[in-house]
Amino acid sequence: MVKLLEDPDKYQVTLYQSPDEVVGKIISGEVDVAAVPSNLAQYWSR
């Protein structure tokens, strides 16, 4: 993941503060790859 952050011309990397911000993007297909915590299911059930 560090290599992704070091090469901004090749990849667009966005960091979010909370998994809540990423869930909608994952479901809608707006993101190609997501690194999320293993306990993400607790956020989906809110």
Alpha-carbon distance of 4 to 14, in angstroms, equals: 10
Could you write out the DSSP letters of every residue in 1-46?
-HHHHH-TTT------S-THHHHHHHHHT--S-----TTTHHHHT-
The answer on pLDDT for 24 being more than 70 is yes
- The token duo for 10 is 């090749």
Q: How confident is the model at residue 42 (pLDDT cuts 50, 70, 90)?
A: low
pTM above 0.85, yes or no: no
Q: What is the separation of C-alpha 40 from the centre of its chain, rounded to a whole number of angstroms? A: 11
